[in-house]
Amino acid sequence: MPPARCAPLAAALLCAACTPAAPSTAAPAQAEVAAPPAASPPSAPAQAVRHAGPALPPPAFADPARRQKLAAAFPEIDRVVAAEVERAKLPGLALGIVIDGELAYARGFGVRDLATGVPVDADTVFPIASLTKSFTAMAILQLRDAGELSLDDPAERHVPELRQLAYPTRDSAPILVRQLLSMSAGFPEDNPWADRELEIDDRALGGLLERGVPFSSAPGAAFEYSNLGYAILGRIVTNVSGVPYRDYVKTRVLLPLGMTGAAFDDRQVPPERLARGYRREGEALVPETHRLEPDSAGAAAGGLHASLRDLARYAAFHLAAWPPRDDPETGPLRRSSAREMQQAARHALLLVSQGVDDLPPRAAAVGYGFGLSSAEACDIDHEVAHSGGLPGFGSRVVLWPDHGVGILALANQTYEDGTRLIREAKRLLAATGALEARAVTPAPALVDAREAVRRLLGRWDDAAADAAFTRSFFLDTPRAKRRAELEALEATHGACRLDGPIDAENALRGTFVLACERGWIEVSLTLAPTTPPKIQHLAVEGALPPTPALSSAAGRLAALVGRWDEAAAKALFDEGVDIGPLKERFAETREARGACRVDRAVGGDGKTKARMRLACDRHPVELEIELGAQGDKVGSVTFASVPYREGKCAQ
C-alpha cells in the first residue's frame, strides 16, 4: 500500500519518502534482463481490424550514442544514492535503471538484514506492495482481450456479493469493472486499514461485501484510492477464469515475463534472498514482524514479492509497448492493452509545487490508468508510475515510455519508496543531454505536403493548390489572399530550399524551415482527416537576419533580465519609453526564468523589428524588439511565450 502518512493520492502516486534509516552500501555488477520465454500470442480480437499500408517506420531515437551517454551518469548516480542512503540511515535499497529493455544499471546499497549484514543486490526479494495492482490489472485485461469479460460489465455480474451494496444516491449506477481498475468505484481511501487487513481470506472478504461497504462518493464521480477495489478485482480474476488468482497471475503473467523469482508466498523464496523489513522508532530501526499470508484475498492489492531483476523484466515489458508498431506480439498481454494501462482512465489531480523540497516550480496533471498512474509534467509529456508501501517496506517504479527509460527502487524500511532518489537519478540522466524522446516519423502525405508548399512558394499554380489543400482551406481565407501571401514571401526572401527534416508533432502535423537567399521561412502544416490527407491549416512566417543594431539591443536586453541596471536601461531605451513598468516586467521575467542569453533570431523584418529566442536558466522566452524612430535605441520591448512544446509550464 502507499504511505499512509502522506496525503492519500500523493501517497499512492507521487508521495516522496517519509522517514530515514541505517547505512552501508554494496554495488553488484551491472546486469541485463534476460529475454523472457516465448509466450502464447494473445487471443484473437473479437473483430478483425484493417491496417493501413505500407506502415510508417515507428518513432526512433535520433542519437545513436544515446545509451552510452546515459551510462556516463551512472558513477555520479552511485555517489549521490550512496550518500543519500547514508544520510537517511536506510537499512537497504536496490536501485535499477532500465534502458531499451535492459537492466543497464543495478545497484544494491546497505543490507537486506541488519543482523547478518548481507548486502542488498539485484536478486534480493522485497514485498512490492501496491505495485501488485498493475499485475492484477494485466490479468483483467487478458480476460477482456480473450472475450471473457468486458470492462463495462457491472462488477456484481462476476462477484455476486456486490449485489448487496447499498449505493449512496438514487441515481448511482452499479460499479463497473472499469471503475474498480481506475480507482473510481466510490469506495473510501483505505491505506491505513488495508496495510493490516491484506490478510483477509476469501470467505471474510465475501462476508464484508455482503454486509455492505460505505461509499465516499457515487461510483464514477471521483478518484479515490482503494485497495478493497483491487481485492475485488482479484476475485473477478478467480471467478471468471476458474483459476485461483495467485495461480493465474503466476502462470499467465509472471512466468511468461521470465519473473521466475517473483512469488506471492515468501516461503517459496530462498531465505538468504529475502529482505527483512524495518520501521523507524526515533533513531532506532526495529524489525517489522508483519508477514503477508499468500492465500489472502488482499493479495491482488499488494501481495507480490519480487527482486529488482524480476521487476526490471516487468518494466521492460511495459516500456516495450511503445511506440505502436507492426512487430509481432510476444508478451503475455497485447501492446495496445499495456498502453491502455499506462494512460489516464480517470483524472486524479493537478499538482502544483513551488519552493518545496529544494525543487524548482513544477506542475503535473495526474491521472490513474489501470494499476498505474499517468502524468504529464512541465518537463515530460508522459510519465507512468506507481508506489508501494507496507510495514517494513517501500517500492516505486517510474517509466518514461517515450524515452525508453525506467527507474526502479526497492527498500526495506516502512513506506520508503525511493522517490527522492529516483528523482535525482532522473536529473543526472537528463544532464547528459541524452534523455530525449523518440523522434516522430512524418507520414508520406506530410512529406508530400511540405514539397507542395515549397513549390507554391516559388511559383503559384491553381491546379497544384487544389491538389494540396482541402476545399475548406480557401473558404476560410480566399485563394487570392493566400496566393498574395506566398508571392510576397517569395519577393522578400528570394529562392528557398528545404533546410533540415520536418519537426513532426505527429504523423500528420509538423513544422519545417526553408532557407532562402534572404533569411528564412518557417512553415507549419496540419493535414485533414481525408483520403488522401490534404492541408487544412498552413501558417508561414518569414524572417530576415537582424541588423547589428537589433542584435546588440537584444544582447543588452537579455543582460537586463539577469541584472537590472538603471543607467544601462536609460542608455538603451528611447527617451519617450516609461522605464518604470519595464523594470517590473524584467524583474518578473528574471524571477520566473533566471538569467538569460540570446539564443537565436526567430522572426522580424531585419531592419527595425526582431523576435529573438532567449535561453534562460529555467524556461526559454521570446523577446520582441522594435527600434525607435531614430533607429539607434529601443522604442518598445515585450516578452512572449515560446511555442507550446518548448515553453510548456513557462507561459
- Mean pLDDT score, 468-490: 93
**Contact between residue 412 and residue 148 where contact means Cβ atoms under 8 Å apart:** no
Distance from C-alpha of 606 to C-alpha of 558, rounded to nearest angstrom = 19
Average pLDDT in the chain:
89
- Mean pLDDT score, 366-371: 97
pLDDT for the residue numbered 648: 64
- Mean pLDDT score, 213-234: 96
Look at residue 5 and tell me whether its pLDDT is greater than 60: no
Task: Give the DSSP per-residue string, 516-551.
Answer: ESSSEEEEEEEE-SSSS--EEEEEEEEE-PPPHHHH
Higher pLDDT, 379 or 210: 210
Measured CA distances, 348 to 144, 246, 442, 516 (Å): 24, 29, 33, 49
For the ranges 9-18, 321-330, 519-528, which has the lowest average pLDDT? 9-18
- Mean pLDDT score, 560-566: 92
Look at residue 6 and tell me whether its pLDDT is greater than 50: no
For the ranges 39-43, 245-249, 285-289, which has the lowest average pLDDT? 39-43
Partners of residue 622 on adjacent β-strands? 613, 640
- Name residue 483's amino acid: R
Farthest CA pair distance, the chain: 88
**Contact between residue 404 and residue 319 where contact means Cβ atoms under 8 Å apart:** yes
What is the DSSP secondary structure assignment for residue 11, as one 8-state letter? I
Look at residue 146 and tell me whether its pLDDT is greater than 90: yes
Cα–Cα nearest to 445, from 530, 515, 522, 513: 530
Phi and psi at 51, nearest 5°, equal -125, 140
Q: Is 278 helix (H, G, I), strand (E, B) or coil?
A: strand
Which CATH number does 444-543 carry? 3.10.450
Domain with CATH 3.40.710.10 in the chain: 8-42+57-145+238-431
Cα–Cα nearest to 336, from 364, 370, 309: 370
**Contact between residue 171 and residue 248 where contact means Cβ atoms under 8 Å apart:** no
Look at residue 17 and tell me whether its pLDDT is greater than 50: no
Read off the pLDDT band of 3 (50, 70, 90): very low
- Name residue 41's amino acid: P
Task: Give the DSSP per-residue string, 355-372.
Answer: SSTT---EEEEEEE-SSS
Helices 548-562, 579-593: crossing angle, 10 deg rounding: 70
Distance from C-alpha of 190 to C-alpha of 215, rounded to nearest angstrom = 12
pLDDT for the residue numbered 395: 97
Partners of residue 634 on adjacent β-strands? 573, 627
2: phi > 0 → left, psi -120 to 50 → alpha, else beta; which? beta
> Helix, strand, coil proportions of the chain in percent (round to 5)?
35, 25, 40
pLDDT for the residue numbered 22: 33
Q: What is the pLDDT of residues 489-498, one digit of tens each?
A: 999 999 999 9
Look at residue 75 and tell me whether its pLDDT is greater than 90: yes
Q: Is 510 helix (H, G, I), strand (E, B) or coil?
A: strand
Higher pLDDT, 19 or 353: 353
Read off the pLDDT band of 34 (50, 70, 90): very low
Distance from C-alpha of 510 to C-alpha of 504, rounded to nearest angstrom = 4
Look at residue 16 and tell me whether its pLDDT is greater than 50: no
**Contact between residue 502 and residue 479 where contact means Cβ atoms under 8 Å apart:** no
What is the DSSP secondary structure assignment for residue 152, as one 8-state letter? T
- Which strands sit side by side in the sheet containing 346-353, from one edge to the other? 102-110, 92-99, 405-411, 393-400, 380-390, 373-377, 362-368, 346-353
Give me the half-sphere count of Cα atoms (radius 13 Å) on the Cβ side of residue 27. 10
Look at residue 305 and tell me whether its pLDDT is greater than 90: yes
Instruction: Report the percentage of the chain scoring pLDDT > 90.
Output: 75
Domain with CATH 3.10.450.280 in the chain: 548-647
Residue 460's Cβ-count burial label (10 Å; 0-12, 13-18, 19+) is middle
> E strand or H helix at 335, and its extent?
helix 335-341
Look at residue 359 and tell me whether its pLDDT is greater than 70: no
State the sign of the Cα–Cα–Cα–Cα dihedral 450, 451, 453, 458.
positive
Task: Give the DSSP per-residue string, 247-258.
Answer: HHHIIIIITTTT
- Mean pLDDT score, 121-141: 97
**Contact between residue 112 and residue 92 where contact means Cβ atoms under 8 Å apart:** yes
Which CATH number does 548-647 carry? 3.10.450.280
Q: How does strand 609-616 pair with strand 596-604?
A: antiparallel
Q: Is 141 helix (H, G, I), strand (E, B) or coil?
A: helix
pLDDT for the residue numbered 21: 34
Partners of residue 10 on adjacent β-strands? none
Cα–Cα nearest to 625, from 564, 524, 549: 549
Higher pLDDT, 598 or 196: 598
For the ranges 34-38, 79-83, 148-152, 329-333, which has the lowest average pLDDT? 34-38
Residue 537's Cβ-count burial label (10 Å; 0-12, 13-18, 19+) is middle
82: its cell numbers: 550512496
In 468-620, the DSSP E strands lie at 496-498, 503-506, 509-516, 520-527, 535-543, 596-604, 609-616
Question: Could you say which architecture CATH assigns to the domain 8-42+57-145+238-431?
Answer: 3-Layer(aba) Sandwich (3.40)
Look at residue 18 and tell me whether its pLDDT is greater than 70: no
pLDDT for the residue numbered 358: 57
For the ranges 6-10, 87-91, 242-246, 549-553, which has the lowest average pLDDT? 6-10
